[in-house]
Amino acid sequence: MKSNLRELYHVEENQKGFIAQGAFSHVYACRRKNGNQQEPLCVKIIKKKIYTMNRTLQEIEILNEIKQLKSENLLHIDHISESESQFEVVMERCDMDLEQEFKLLKSKNKWYTEQDCLNIVTQIMNGIRVLYNKNIIHRDIKPANILVKIINTDKNEQKRVYQIADFGFSRILNDFCGVDYYTQLGTPLYASPQIFGSEPYSGKCDIYSLGILFYQLFFEGNMPNQLQTKGDLLNFHKTLENKQFKFNSPKYHNAKLITHLLQLMIVYKEEERISFEQIFQHQILKIKISFNYSDSIFSEVQQGDCLNKLYAMQLQLYRKYLFYKSVSQKLVQSQQIEVQAALYCLTQLGFKQLHFCLGFIHIIISDIHPHFNKDNIYPLLQELKLCEMNIDKHPQYQLLIKIIKQKYYSEKGDLQKQMNQLETEQNSNTQKSESMRTFMEIFQLSKSANIEQKQLTDLLQLFLEQKLLIGFEADIKKSILLEERFPIQNSQDINPDDIFKV
């Protein structure tokens, strides 16, 4: 186990790479120096302290055991090393924990479907079964210690893997069912009455904690009896000691089976609490889950997030068009040739925003690809495809697309008229200024090739520097600034409401 971890991994042991902090440890981001360098990993650094050494050695022993097990529903351990001052455990870095997932769904006024709940319960119990077979007691089962790994499939779907983590309070028991005075650990709201009351307990303490967690899962994140304080918990335990836990059935098809299991798990006396063998044989775990991503709440959440994100991107591009259009209308009455040239540049800039919109709407890679790097373009294309399939769920977006299409073809006609007018005037004008000669080079090029927005804003800047746009300087400066502040490649991060604040 003794090795120099820094020879194998890049460890970001700084503020930027900091992920979390425990009572006796810190977690930082890291990656392999060789092999798959893109796999997200993290390293848990546990300092050696005399007063915590026994517990630390116990945790390292269990982590070494789990490293060998390689269960999908237990935290994946990549490497463990030891130095004179600390232990370092390299682990798979997941996307969030179950507590954070609860908060995410609540923030969107959503909750799991029954299939989601059964899938999560099954995965957690698969991990628990592996621990049980190795006589490992966890002693701190709670949503924050269930990690969530999101795996994107090639079908534009997501697979969520739930992994039991944080074995800092875990222990290997010689007799899993034997009752003894073990160290009083855990999180009070999830700890069994025996742990909470400093009484002897066995491996069945984890069953109570799982019962509380599963109750939250089936009841939209709520605790039994709305437990909040230590007093609430004491009263709840007293009630459990005298009578069976009673509650309204969850609003799911298998409500009777769910209620039956929870009432057997959330039990005060250990001898009356259901055993692990009985849970593994319970009917709730025998329900065959034909899990389709489309039936998951995360399919709906992903669709909604995707639609809102792309709607915002299109809206800010459309508002950029409106900004350029509003400035163009101020220039349209002027007969000065340089002002007409500036008008053409502005019309082109506005038309390009609509053109980008059409690229998003019809998923035309050639219209959007040059403006996004290779790491961003594939996820964006996947989102565009998902959006295309679910556009009927976003009436505002549907209306915006209709407006964009109408404006696109209208502006295309106006742009052609401007081009014809400018060409006629230039053919009759034999004396051209330096700025107009530069403009005409780009103007002629625009007939057969794509002109970058930077070329157009540079022309506007040239007209300003030569003081050829008297009376329009402020609006032209804003137009140039608009493109600098809100380039298309940043469109995923731009708030549409900021466009008119330039």
Query: What is the mean pLDDT of the segment spanning 25-37?
Result: 86
**Other Cβ atoms within 10 Å of 163 Cβ, number:** 23
Instruction: Give the confidence band of 181 by pLDDT, cuts at 50, 70, 90.
Output: very low
pLDDT at 139 over 80: yes
Instruction: Give the confidence band of 232 by pLDDT, cuts at 50, 70, 90.
Output: confident
Query: What is the mean pLDDT of the segment spanning 388-392?
Result: 73
Structural domains counted in the chain: 3
- Do 325 and 391 lie in one domain? The reply is yes
- Do 307 and 369 lie in one domain? The reply is yes
pLDDT of residue 493: 75
Residue span of the structural domain in which 34 resides: 5-92
Instruction: Give the confidence band of 426 by pLDDT, cuts at 50, 70, 90.
Output: confident
- Do 444 and 392 lie in one domain? The reply is yes
CA distance 425 to 459: 19
Last residue of a domain, one of 92, 115, 147: 92
Give the count of alpha carbons within 13 A of 493, CB side only: 7
In this structure, what CATH number is given to the domain that contains residue 73?
Answer: 3.30.200.20
CA distance 10 to 287: 44
Q: Based on the number of CB atoms within 10 Å of its own CB, is 294 exposed (0-12), middle (13-18) or buried (19 or more)?
A: exposed
Lookup result for tokens 């994100």: 309
Q: Which of 224, 219, 250, 218 is nearest to 237 (CA)?
A: 224
Query: What is the mean pLDDT of the segment spanning 254-279?
Result: 95
- Whole-model pTM: value is 0.63
- Do 277 and 135 lie in one domain? The reply is yes
Last residue of a domain, one of 52, 71, 92: 92
- Do 44 and 130 lie in one domain? The reply is no
What is the phi-psi region of residue 109: left when phi exceeds 0, alpha when psi lies from -120 to 50, beta otherwise?
left
- Do 322 and 441 lie in one domain? The reply is yes
CA distance 111 to 485: 38
- Do 263 and 381 lie in one domain? The reply is no
Query: What is the mean pLDDT of the segment spanning 456-477?
Result: 93
Instruction: Please state which of the ranges 148-157, 245-254, 312-321 shows the lowest mean pLDDT.
Output: 148-157
pLDDT of residue 259: 96
- Do 151 and 78 lie in one domain? The reply is no
* Position 297, amino acid: I
pLDDT at 1 over 70: no
Query: What is the mean pLDDT of the segment spanning 271-296?
Result: 82
pLDDT of residue 289: 66
| Pair of tokens at residue 239 | 């009630």
pLDDT of residue 299: 63
Q: Is the dihedral of CA 53, 59, 63, 69 positive or negative?
A: positive
* Position 282, amino acid: H
- Do 252 and 304 lie in one domain? The reply is no
- Do 366 and 409 lie in one domain? The reply is yes
Instruction: Give the confidence band of 182 by pLDDT, cuts at 50, 70, 90.
Output: very low
Helix (H, G, I), strand (E, B) or coil at 411: helix
In this structure, what CATH number is given to the domain that contains residue 179?
Answer: 1.10.510.10
Mean pLDDT score of the chain, rounded to an integer?
A: 85
- Do 309 and 396 lie in one domain? The reply is yes
